[in-house]
């Protein structure tokens, strides 16, 4: 597949076949011309609604159902955030995660290019998503995981029958090694911030933008790990502006878990480059990326949109997770709750005005995660004959 790419940092153009990194060291993304793009008038609700801004592929099976997730108004969160709150609920994707957007595009593109196998480096949602999409497309799937991965996580990934390889060694180097394997073997790796994955994940931003058209939200708050999703949302709004559909970019705020926050640390130092850290344990384990490959791109996105990068601790994350469940009816993965925890922290800083529209991106469902804070359930048992009396007592 003959696709062109461009570097966000230096502007250098190249071909997708050249790999996911520019010679300057920064990640590339697909070079898309959105000049003539207009909001679609079709009734299609999947991410392929925006096929004019996506690679020319023919999605089928699971890929055809990715995206099109709900934007939920959450008025009971307004007071804590100090703004009008909306939640983009990515748990409605086929495998319960935003990763399905990138997997759908990446697997469809690999199939179009003639690959028999796809792969990814992941120990969580992306591995499960890639395995599911590959199974639907009839492609082999290779998943590279760290040697110490918990057995429970392996079980979720294995349901779609991929080939799983535990790799003993520096997990951070697996990304680089997979790029080399991609070139030398007949495996198309669709990793966390590769151009095809970012292309799919930018549709989160396109859906948000269209939901608010002809204006846009004032701010978007989302968790950040590798920086692939953050990059995609930034790219989406850049394309919407280039098409003349929005005049301004929303402020982009990116949130990490305090125990592993290399991008937030760099932001606090005023740096333009991220330094790898020794990450600690956190309930938001799926975003605990100690050496994010698109970390510098996230810093650029925050600066160019007058946003910020911040970190929140586990207590704030778990409190936000409970609040999303109890006040918005949305049960999310712990990592997703960093969006609300971060928004609450930003509200304390006065970052939002009461009349502003703020979108929290809830990147995945909580129903696939081992529960970390199961509430104590004190359910009274009553005789059937006394039901009416018991109900009346609880309603008083």
* Cis bond before residue 7 (omega within 30° of 0): no
Give, for all 396 residues of the chain, the pLDDT tens digit. Answer: 679 999 999 999 999 999 999 999 999 999 999 999 999 998 899 999 999 999 999 898 999 999 999 999 999 999 999 999 999 999 999 999 999 999 999 999 999 999 999 999 987 899 999 999 999 999 999 999 888 777 877 888 899 999 999 888 777 677 777 777 766 678 999 999 999 999 999 999 999 999 999 999 999 999 999 999 999 999 999 999 999 999 899 999 999 999 999 999 999 999 999 999 998 999 998 899 999 999 999 999 999 999 999 999 999 999 999 999 999 999 999 999 999 999 999 999 999 999 999 999 999 999 877 666 666 677 788 788 877 888 888 786
Beta-sheet pairing, 163-167 with 140-146? parallel
Query: How many degrees, rounded to 5, is the angle at CA 63 between CA 285 and CA 21?
Result: 60
pTM of the model: 0.93
Work out the widest C-alpha separation in the chain, in whole angstroms: 76
The single residue listed with the structure tokens 């005049």 is 247
Phi, psi (rounded to 5 degrees) for 72: -100, 125
The single residue listed with the structure tokens 């509200």 is 347
Measured CA to CA, the distance from residue 36 to residue 33 in angstroms comes to 8
CA atoms within 13 A on the CB side of 268: 11
User: What is the DSSP-derived secondary structure letter of residue 55?
Assistant: -
Residues 6+ apart with CB under 8 A from 265: 274, 275, 277, 311
């Amino acid at each position: 597949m003959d696709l062109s790419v461009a570097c966000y940092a230096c502007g250098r153009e190249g071909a997708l076949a050249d790999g996911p990194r520019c010679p300057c060291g920064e990640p590339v993304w697909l070079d898309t011309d959105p000049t003539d793009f207009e909001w679609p008038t079709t009734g299609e609700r999947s991410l392929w609604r925006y096929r004019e801004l996506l690679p020319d592929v023919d999605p089928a099976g699971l890929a055809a159902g990715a995206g099109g997730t709900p934007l939920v108004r959450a008025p009971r969160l307004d007071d804590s955030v100090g703004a009008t709150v909306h939640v983009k609920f990515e748990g409605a994707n086929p495998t319960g995660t935003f990763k399905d957007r990138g997997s759908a595009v990446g697997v469809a593109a690999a199939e179009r290019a003639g690959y028999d196998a796809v792969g990814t480096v992941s120990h969580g949602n992306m591995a499960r998503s890639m395995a599911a999409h590959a199974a639907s497309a009839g492609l082999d799937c290779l998943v590279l995981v760290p040697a110490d991965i918990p057995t429970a996580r392996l079980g979720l990934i294995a349901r779609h029958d991929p080939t799983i390889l535990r790799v003993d060694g520096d997990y951070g180097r697996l990304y680089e090694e997979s790029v080399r394997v991609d070139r030398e073997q007949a495996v198309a790796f669709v990793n966390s911030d590769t151009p095809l994955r970012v292309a799919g994940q930018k549709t989160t931003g396109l859906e948000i933008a269209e939901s608010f058209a002809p204006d846009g939200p004032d701010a978007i708050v989302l968790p950040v790990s590798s920086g692939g999703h953050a990059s995609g949302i930034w790219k989406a709004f850049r394309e919407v502006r280039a098409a003349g559909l929005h005049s301004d970019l929303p402020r982009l705020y990116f949130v990490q878990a305090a125990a592993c926050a290399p991008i937030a640390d760099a932001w606090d130092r005023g740096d333009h480059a991220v330094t790898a850290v020794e990450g600690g344990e956190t309930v938001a384990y799926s975003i605990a990326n100690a050496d994010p490959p698109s970390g510098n791109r996230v810093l650029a996105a925050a600066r160019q949109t007058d946003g910020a990068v911040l970190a929140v601790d586990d207590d704030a994350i778990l409190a936000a997770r409970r609040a999303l469940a109890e006040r918005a009816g949305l049960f999310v993965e712990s990592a997703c709750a960093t969006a609300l925890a971060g928004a609450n922290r930003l509200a304390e800083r006065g970052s939002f005005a009461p009349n502003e529209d703020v979108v929290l991106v809830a990147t995945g469902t909580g129903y696939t995660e081992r529960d970390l804070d199961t509430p104590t359930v004190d359910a009274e048992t009553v005789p059937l004959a006394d039901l009416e009396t018991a109900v009346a007592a609880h309603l008083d």
